[in-house]
Amino acid sequence: LKTMFAGWTPSLLAPLLLVALSITPVSSFLPSSVGCALLQSRHPAACSLSPLTSPGRDVFLAPSARQPAPGARSSGLVMLAKAKAKVKTGRVADNKEARFQYEIIDTYECGMKLVGTEVKSCRAGKINIKDGFARVDKDGSFKLYNCNIASHGETGLYFNHEEMRPRILLAHKKEIKEIEKACQARGHTVVPLKVYFNENGFLKCEVAVCRGKNLANKKDEIKGRDQARDAKRELKSAGY
C-alpha cells in the first residue's frame, strides 16, 4: 500500500474512495484506519460507517448499503400502517324511518360515485338520506335521488359540489336488472337504508327493494314491539 499510494495526497484519495464505496459497499482493499483517516480529512460526514466484524479484518459498509436491524420496519410500511389506522370506518347515515314505513324485501350493497368534497362531508357525517330514493333510469344507470350531502365548509364555492344532485350508485349489472324488474311490481320502490365506510375506507350505500306498509301493518308492528319489550323487562326482573 505504501508503494501504491506513495505520491498520493488525501485530497486525491478521498474522491477515489467515495467512488469505490458507492460501487461496492464492502471496501476490503483498505484497512479501516487508513480509509477513515482519508475520508475524514475531506468528507467528515461520509465516514459515518458502521463497523462489522469479520474474520481477519475490519469491514465497513457505506450508509446506503446498511441492512436494517432485525425486527425494524421500513418507513414505507410504517406510513402505510399509520394511514390505515386513520381510516374512518362505520356508519355515517341511517334511515330508521324507512324500516318503519316500508316492508324490506331485499337489500343490496352499492358503491357511490362522488367527488372529493362530498367524501369529506360524508366523513364529517353531513349527509341526510331520510327522503332519498333510487331508481334505474332509461339509460341503464342506477342513481340515488333526493339525498342531501352538505357542502364542505373549508372549500370555496367554485370547487364545491351541488348538495342535492343525483348520485350514481355502483352495482353489478345483474343486480341492477334484478332491482329494475322488482320495481316494476305495484307498490315497490328502492330506498337507501344506511351509508357507511367499510374496512377498506370506501363509502358504501345499502339500498333495499321494499313495499309500503298500510296503517294496520304499522299498528301490528308497534304492538309486537311493545309486547317484546314488556316480556324482556319481566324476564329481567325475574332474574333470567
Distance from C-alpha of 161 to C-alpha of 114, rounded to nearest angstrom: 9
- pLDDT beyond 70 at 189: yes
- pLDDT beyond 80 at 157: no
Characterise 151 by phi-psi region: left (phi > 0), alpha (psi -120 to 50), beta (else). Answer: beta
Share of the chain above pLDDT 90, in %: 20
Provide the terminal-to-terminal Cα distance of the chain, rounded to the nearest Å.
Answer: 91
Task: Check residues 164 and 44 and name the one with the higher pLDDT.
Answer: 164
* Residue that is written with C-alpha cell 316500508 in the block: 102
Distance from C-alpha of 61 to C-alpha of 49, rounded to nearest angstrom: 6
Max mean pLDDT range (30-44, 136-150, 151-165, 212-226): 136-150
Q: What's the pLDDT at 171?
A: 92
Convert the pLDDT of each residue in 100-120 to its tens digit: 888 889 999 999 999 888 888
Distance from C-alpha of 81 to C-alpha of 87, rounded to nearest angstrom: 10
The interaxial angle of helices 32-42 and 10-23, nearest 10 deg, is 110
Q: What's the pLDDT at 187?
A: 84
Q: What's the pLDDT at 194?
A: 92
- pLDDT beyond 50 at 50: no
Characterise 140 by phi-psi region: left (phi > 0), alpha (psi -120 to 50), beta (else). Answer: left
* pLDDT average, residue stretch 176-191: 89
* Confidence class for position 214, pLDDT limits 50, 70, 90: confident
What does the DSSP assignment read for 192-222?
A: EEEEEE-TTS-EEEEEEEEEE--HHHHHHHH
Q: Is 48 exposed, middle or buried (0-12, 13-18, 19+ CB in 10 A)?
A: exposed
Query: What does pTM read for this prediction?
Result: 0.54
**Of 13, 40, 42, 50, which is closest to residue 29 (Cα–Cα)?**
13
Convert the pLDDT of each residue in 52-96 to its tens digit: 444 444 444 444 445 555 555 556 666 555 555 555 678 888 988
